[in-house]
Amino acid sequence: MLAAVDHVQLAAPPGSEEALRAYYTGALGMTEIPKPEPLASRGGCWFTAGPVQLHLGMEPDFRPSKKAHPGLRVTGIDAFAARLEAAGAKVVWNSELPGHRRFYSEDPAGNVLEFLEPDAG
């Protein structure tokens, strides 16, 4: 029986860790958590915020997916979108999911991230 999602793994090009750290800790407000040995020697970085963990692994021939993405539930979606835009991230609103407000953005590697909040009304 499935109990929960432990983490979501995303890929990025080798050497992009500093840009990813700036985005995930600065723009998204996540906390970096240390990768356990021997995984740390592979590069990449892991982040957490509450029950959410995102792991960024290095992939030599990385190409960002145009469709696959994690959907991340947020509170205060307008303020969250403004925070991302202030950090220089593109925010693309989408109204096609009934009962939710949502937008898409991309991390520095080009990974698509969906941010959504149930509609209050």
> Following DSSP, what letter does each residue of 8-66 receive, concatenated?
EEEEE-TT-HHHHHIIIIIIS--EEEPPPTTGGGG--EEEEETTEEEEEEE-TT----S
| 121, pLDDT greater than 80 | no
What does pLDDT average to over the chain? 95
What value does the mean pLDDT take over residues 59-63? 96
Percent composition of the chain: helix, strand, coil (DSSP 3-state, to 5) = 20, 35, 45
From 3.10.180.10, 3.30.1540.10, 3.30.465.10, 3.40.50.300, which CATH number describes the 8-61+68-118 domain? 3.10.180.10
Which of 113, 106, 117 minimizes the C-alpha distance to 73? 117
